[in-house]
Structure 1
Amino acid sequence: MAAFHPGNGTIERLGRMLGEAERIVAFTGAGISTESGIPDFRSPGGIWTRMEPITFQKFMASEEARLEDWQRRFTMNEVYGEAEPNIAHRALAHLVAEGHAQGIVTQNIDGLHARAGVPADKLVELHGNATYAHCLSCRQRFELEEMRAAITREGSSPRCACGGFVKSAIVSFGEAMPEAEMLRAYRLAEECDLMLVLGSSLLVEPAASVPRVAKRAGARLVILNREATPLHGLADLALEGEIGAMLAQIFPHLADQEH
């Protein structure tokens, strides 16, 4: 269907659809966090259009690449640390807390959903999380400041006690998607009655297939994004504009919490 634009009752329709749904699942992308001041790294002008990504293969093969990757992660985490969850993050956390949303599936690595109050068992981070690190062999968790201190002290990239490489807990370019997380996302999609897409271009696969799974299983599909997506034609409702401004009309009590 053609995209709707805010006005002419479309926000009211969005509110009704959210109110009628009993098993909402949200699917979020970079657009939900740009309103918290976090850059969209993949869009034109983003960091990955100006700086070659360090692939998983390069990370594993080169000490120089590992050290460069760590420096990028430390810089990126400073940006994430300064950002605060916005009304969209808080609205989703509210829907989860009230039992209306069964889970949040996100492409984002900034940790803002968790900071907004979404519990770990309701959050599926398809591309990992940049706010901590883990061992690639045994999966032990490490904090970034601990790794920064180790690199400063040793002058080399960190290794786990088991001998494995330690890396920021994101899915790097060229790294396999986490199978367990993808299965969790598909299961949520198959069981929901409304798939709410917020701030995703729906271009990055296989993550972008999750809303399609929900639609095929009979769920309503609602998309809120700044621009049209490849799934606009399948959507029951598609709104283009500022996500926070739209949700503020549905959750005015949460809008009052803005810093």
Structure 2
Amino acid sequence: MAETAPKVAAEERRESLAAVDREADALAKQIKKASTLSFSLVQASLHPLCTGIPDFRGPGGNWTLRAQGKPRTKHANALQAIPTLSHMALVELQNRGILKLLERIAELHGNSNREACKDCNKEYMRDFRAVSTYKNGIHDHRTGRKCARCGGTLVDSIINFGENLPKRDLDLAYQHAELADLCLVLGSSVTITPACITPACTIPTIVGERKGAKLAVCNLQKTPVDGITDYRIFTETDILMAKLMEKLDLPIPPFILRRRLIVKVETQEEDRRKVEVTGVDSDVTPVTFLQSVRLEGSRRIARAEPYIIHVRDAVKTGAEMKFDLEFMGHYNEPNLELVHSYNGNEEVLYLLEYNPETGEWTIERQETPERVVECIVLDP
């Protein structure tokens, strides 16, 4: 990427708040009158939207500095980046059915927290960097873990230099670009990269050049598609999105960290119980977000998956089992005391929500989770 960045970054420009307000008003009217409500975000550089993470081609951007022969900017750990106002505005637009795109989001350049099974395609979101060690070169994407559903090999989703973008997501992105009434580009230079055979930055052009469709770009620097835009806004993304949501009379929800946890108790002997605590995904496959689990009254602390604690004393029905849950802490989430009411051998699902702004957890106990039964068809 650095070879496509100039040593002197393009000049940044910021319009007045009054000008941004007028453009946001026009953009809101365009969204409201879209006949198919197909408002598609098909190109965005999300990393610069995250708190503390630098951009790529700005004056202090990573590619600009590398082109100058300087070290990359020191920045916050990406695992600790909390979604900004812009991210949450997009969530609200998606929840309202206004923003439509590839099953909510298509990460064409991968996600360092996401890995998938090569055999059954099950995806796993991790609370750690799920990337390959590249033991056999940069094209070896194996992470060293196995699929909890079928036992297959897990691979990361990172797209390295010279590799194609994922065909399925890219094809769908092009299809949506052909259907979109409006394409909104946020924080992207829309710059073609020679190393990428099928660059995502060509997608906005599809919308911008199609009769009847509208293209909007919000960025501080000029882009190659500026000549075909209908709305060109020079400002920070958060400023535009705050104005836009105000014009649409829509709230911007706070970011809430949501976790799902299963507590399972089994009787092994009359006075012996096996207690297992597992983080799970929405389809009840395991998800890693805990560091340790401690049960009050037990001297042993479970520090590795599976989190299993054996209770030797008889546990009576109705007794309270108090767990101290330690999380990865990327969002500064504190330990959580979970009180589980024992009702015999059972599995209980708990929904946990953490608000980084208040620093508080909420807990909701659910019915026994249903295990997902699927028919997996593998390609011949």
TM-score band, normalised by shorter chain: 0.5 to 0.7
Counterpart residue identity of residue 39, structure 2: I
CA contact (8 A) 1:42 1:49 kept: yes
Q: Identity rate of aligned residues, in percent?
A: 27
1:127 aligns with 2:142: no
Partner of 2:223, secondary structure, is: coil
Tell me what 1:7 maps to: 18
> 1:65-122, CA deviations, whole angstroms, 9 ceiling, x for partnerless residues?
xxxxxxxxxx99x822211111211111111111112117xxxxxxxxxxxxxxxx12
CA contact (8 A) 2:89 2:252 kept: no
Tell me what 1:33 maps to: 48
Tell me what 2:339 maps to: none
CA contact (8 A) 1:27 1:198 kept: no
Partner of 1:125, secondary structure, is: coil
Partner of 2:221, secondary structure, is: coil
Greater percentage in strand: 2
CA contact (8 A) 1:30 1:199 kept: yes
> 1:174-230, CA deviations, whole angstroms, 9 ceiling, x for partnerless residues?
212111111010000001111111111000351111011122333101111111111
Tell me what 1:100 maps to: 98
CA contact (8 A) 2:116 2:123 kept: yes
Tell me by how many angstroms 1:7 deviates. Answer: 2.4
1:237 aligns with 2:231: yes
Tell me by how many angstroms 1:161 deviates. Answer: 6.0
In 1, the alpha carbon distance for the partners of 2:220 and 2:184 equals: 14
CA contact (8 A) 1:31 1:225 kept: no
- Determine which structure has more spread, i.e. the larger CA radius of gyration: 2
Tell me what 2:206 maps to: 213
CA contact (8 A) 1:126 1:177 kept: yes
> 1:114-171, CA deviations, whole angstroms, 9 ceiling, x for partnerless residues?
xxxxxxx1211111111133467876656475969x99xxxxx854669x98653211
In 2, the alpha carbon distance for the partners of 1:242 and 1:220 equals: 20
Task: In structure 2, list runs of 5 or more residues that go unmatched.
Answer: 1-12, 68-73, 135-141, 194-198, 256-356, 358-380
Give the counterpart of 1:202 among 190, 195, 208: 190
Q: 1:135 to 1:231 in 2, by over 3 A?
A: same
CA contact (8 A) 1:198 1:225 kept: yes
Q: 1:201 to 1:208 in 2, by over 3 A?
A: same
Partner of 2:101, secondary structure, is: strand
Partner of 1:221, secondary structure, is: strand
Q: Which one is further off, 233-242 or 203-212?
A: 203-212
Counterpart residue identity of residue 125, structure 1: E
Task: In structure 1, list runs of 5 or more residues that go unmatched.
Answer: 53-74, 105-120, 152-156
Counterpart residue identity of residue 105, structure 2: L
CA contact (8 A) 2:113 2:128 kept: no
Higher relative contact order (CA 8 A, sep 6+): 1
CA contact (8 A) 1:223 1:238 kept: yes
State the TM-score, normalized to the length of structure 1: 0.66
Greater percentage in helix: 1
Tell me what 2:176 maps to: 188
In 2, the alpha carbon distance for the partners of 1:126 and 1:171 equals: 8
Counterpart residue identity of residue 114, structure 2: Y
Partner of 1:101, secondary structure, is: coil
Counterpart residue identity of residue 232, structure 1: D
Q: 1:173 to 1:136 in 2, by over 3 A?
A: farther
Counterpart residue identity of residue 15, structure 1: A
CA contact (8 A) 2:40 2:176 kept: yes
In 2, the alpha carbon distance for the partners of 1:43 and 1:122 equals: 28
The RMSD of aligned alpha carbons is 3.8
Counterpart residue identity of residue 91, structure 1: A
Q: 1:4 to 1:48 in 2, by over 3 A?
A: closer
Aligned length: 212
Tell me what 2:79 maps to: 81
Tell me what 1:115 maps to: none
